[in-house]
Structure 1
Amino acid sequence: MYKFYGYKKCDTCRKAEQFLQQAGIDYEFIDITENPPTADELAAIAESANVSLSKLFNASGVQYRQLKIKEQLPALSNREILTMLAGNGRLIKRPLITNGKRATVGFDAERFALIWN
């Protein structure tokens, strides 16, 4: 079963959901702001999606800017990054989609077509 970590009020998440629905992919929607992935799940998603941990941050988000994450990142260990993200779903770039083997971070129609079709 696919896990879709998103936020219902997010336009990007709605586009990703529409893509999955049109592709006939069943998924479990998980509100990322209420139930963010654990640190271990985030590490697995980053590895499966082939992205660095810093790419898991929602760099355009209000909290990212308020907490000055960009300035903190160079001094943070991987474990600190994962703990920070797992503790605050609003810091995570969305949507996160995983089937346990593959994963995507954010929404890009071309990438989705390659990964999820």
Structure 2
Amino acid sequence: MNIQIFGTKKCNDSKKAERFFKERGIKFQYIDLREKSMSKGEMTSVASAVGGLMNMIDPDAKDKDALALISYIADEDKLDKLLENQQLIKTPVVRNGKQATLGYQPDVWKKWE
């Protein structure tokens, strides 16, 4: 397994995801989205694993202006806008190769073991 967790230090679900993998002795790489953004390739890979870019967006994100904008711009511009506004992504994003989840999903992660 090659686990990557994209999250933020303030996100409780990101902390719970870290604990889930630590308790099972599974090594993972933690990436703080406030310090290092997801690359275009990473985001495209996650989007394809979770059923599209719009599924990655957290409807409860604090930046309501960016949320509204991304909802109404042309589909071909959404990837670039989400790359610029990664605070809109539902966290944690947990990747295992080509598989990925959004939010705290221990039931899915157990199947990866």
Query: Shorter-chain TM-score category?
Result: 0.7 to 0.9
Residue 36 of structure 1 contacts residue 88 of structure 1 at CA under 8 Å; is this kept in 2? no
**Does residue 59 of the first structure (1) align with residue 69 of the second (2)?**
no
Distance, in Å, in 1 between the alignment partners of 2:26 and 2:47 is 21
> What is the percent sequence identity of the aligned residues?
27
Distance, in Å, in 2 between the alignment partners of 1:58 and 1:36 is 16
What does residue range 87-102 of structure 1 map to in structure 2 within 5 Å? Answer: 87-102=84-99
What does residue range 1-117 of structure 1 map to in structure 2 within 5 Å? Answer: 1-48=2-49, 50-63=50-63, 65-67=64-66, 69-70=67-68, 72-77=70-75, 79-114=76-111, 116-117=112-113
Spell out structure 1 runs of 4+ moving beyond 6 A.
Answer: none
Distance, in Å, in 2 between the alignment partners of 1:34 and 1:85 is 16
So what's the TM-score if we normalise by structure 1? 0.81
Please report the RMSD computed on the Cα atoms of aligned residues, expressed in angstroms: 1.9
Gaps spanning 5+ residues in structure 2: where?
Answer: none
> Residues 2 and 62 (structure 1 numbering): CA distance in 2 closer, same or farther, change over 3 Å?
same
Question: How far 1:40 sits from its partner (Å)?
Answer: 2.1
- Secondary structure (helix, strand or coil) at the match of 1:13 reads helix
- Secondary structure (helix, strand or coil) at the match of 1:28 reads strand
Distance, in Å, in 2 between the alignment partners of 1:72 and 1:46 is 15
Residue 33 of structure 1 contacts residue 88 of structure 1 at CA under 8 Å; is this kept in 2? no
Gaps spanning 5+ residues in structure 1: where?
Answer: none
Distance, in Å, in 1 between the alignment partners of 2:36 and 2:27 is 19
- Secondary structure (helix, strand or coil) at the match of 1:33 reads coil
So what's the TM-score if we normalise by structure 2? 0.84
Question: How far 1:54 sits from its partner (Å)?
Answer: 0.5
1:56-79 CA distances to partner (integer Å, 9 max, x unpaired)?
Answer: 11211111x233x246425421x4
